[in-house]
Every structure is written in structure tokens, then in C-alpha cells.
Structure 1
Amino acid sequence: MKTYHADVTRDGKFWLIRVREIDRSTQALRYKDVAAMASDLIEIMEDLHNDEYDLHLNVHLPPSVKDHQARAEVLRAEAQRKQAEAAAENRAAVQELLALGLSQREAGDVLGVSFQRVSQLAKSS
């Protein structure tokens, strides 16, 4: 099965679509129509049906958008690390209170969480 690659860029109000393998272009008004327009172009120019080829879209974004995406990924990873640290601190707090002789219900009341949550934290450590 042949694979076609469509390079997609934004130009004003339109998405420009260039299919490399056939060296032809088309356009779409909305991004949701890009794959269909590329497929139509391939099928017309190559006399194929949609089950006879694969289409890969390569969307070219402005560098500033890529920068925002990269920063968002860094922040997501940092948030995951911080969430794991917070969970570890919650577990440590529960363990300390239980070691002081508090019941799970008392520990929950003191920490402002349900005793079920205290039970979960106690079991996960």
C-alpha cells in the first residue's frame, strides 16, 4: 500500500495542503476538512480509492506555537512531579498521625480528608 504525505500550513483564512508524492496542492477552509481534501486530491490525480493508500498529514506550525507547546509540556511534567511530591507528603502526614496513635477517622478529621482517603494513603505507603 502506498503512503502519501501532505504538508499542511496555514495561510490567511485557508489551510494549504501540498501532497509531496504527486506534487499537487489544494486547500481547505477548516482544519477538519484537510484530510478529506488531501484524500480527494490523491484519489482524483492517482485514480485510487480511499482504502488503497495511507495518508499522513504533516502540519507545519509557526515557531512561536511550537515554543508554547514545548513550554506546556515542560510545565505538565513539572506538575506531575509536584503532584507526586504532594502525594508523598500526604502519605507521610498520615503515617505520622497514625504512629502518634490517632485513628484513621481522627487523622481524617485533623487533615480535612475522609477516613477512607486516610485508609488509602496508609495502604499506599
Structure 2
Amino acid sequence: MKTYHAEVARDGRFWLIRVREIDRSTQALRYKDVVTMANELIEIMDGVGNDEYDLHLEVHLPSSVKDHQARAEVLREEAQRKQAEAAAEHRAAVQELLALGVSQREAGEVLGMSFQRVSQFSSLRRKTARIV
């Protein structure tokens, strides 16, 4: 099965679509129409049906947009690490209170957590204790 590669870039108000294998271009007003327009161009110019080929899109974005995306990914990963650290600290607080003989309900009230969340943290402690 043949594969066509469509390079897509914003050009003013339109998305410019260039299909390398047929050396032709088209455009779409909305991004959601890019695949349809590329398919129509391929089918008209090469006389093939849409089940006779694969289409691979390569979207070219301005470097400033790529920079924002890269920074957002770094921040997302950092947020995930921080969230995991916060959960570990919550878990440690729950486990210390329970070790002092405080009930799960009281621990939840004192720490501003639901009973169910405290119960999850205490069951994690028991599972960890069995594994070790």
C-alpha cells in the first residue's frame, strides 16, 4: 500500500497542505478539514480510492509554538513529580497519626481528608508492609 506524506503549515487564514508524492498543494480553512482536503487532492490527482493508500500528516508549527509546547511538557512532568511527592507526604502524615493510635476517622478530620482517603493511605501501608 502506498503512503502519501502531507506537510501542513499555517499560511495566513488557511492551512496549507503540500503532498510530496504528487508535488501538489491544497488548503483548508479549518484544521479539521486538512485530512479531507489532502485525501481529495490525492484521489483526484492520482486516481486512487481512499482504501488504496495511507496518509501521513506532518504538521509544521512556528518555533515559538513548539517552545511553548516543550515548556508545557516540562512543567507537566514537574507537576506530576510534585503531586507524587505531596501524596507521599500525605501518606506519611496519615501513617504517623495511625501509629499514635488515632482512628482513621479522626486522622481524616485532623488532616482535612476524607475517611476514604485515609483508609486508602492506611491500606497502602499494610500492603507495603506485607511486601517487604
TM-score by length of 1: 0.98
Name the structure 1 match of 2:8: 8
| In 1: Cα distance, 2:124 partner to 2:58 partner | 44
Q: What is the aligned-residue RMSD (CA, Å)?
A: 0.7
- Identity in percent: 82
In structure 1, list runs of 5 or more residues that go unmatched.
none
Gaps in structure 2 of 5+ consecutive residues:
126-132
Q: Give the aligned partner of residue 78 of structure 2.
A: 78
Q: How does 1:101-116 map to 2 (within 5 A)?
A: 101-116=101-116
Please list every run of at least 4 consecutive aligned residues from structure 1 whose deviation after the TM superposition is greater than 6 angstroms: none
CA shift, 1:23, in A, is 0.5
* Distance across 1 between alignment mates of 2:7 and 2:62: 14
1:50 aligned counterpart, secondary structure: coil
Residue 49 of structure 1 aligns to a residue whose secondary structure is: coil
Q: TM-score, normalised by structure 2?
A: 0.93
Query: What CA distance in whole angstroms lies between the structure 1 residues aligned with 2:62 and 2:114?
Result: 48
Question: Letter of the aligned partner of 1:7 in structure 2?
Answer: E
1:64 aligns with 2:64: yes
Structure 1 residue 91 displacement after superposition: 0.4
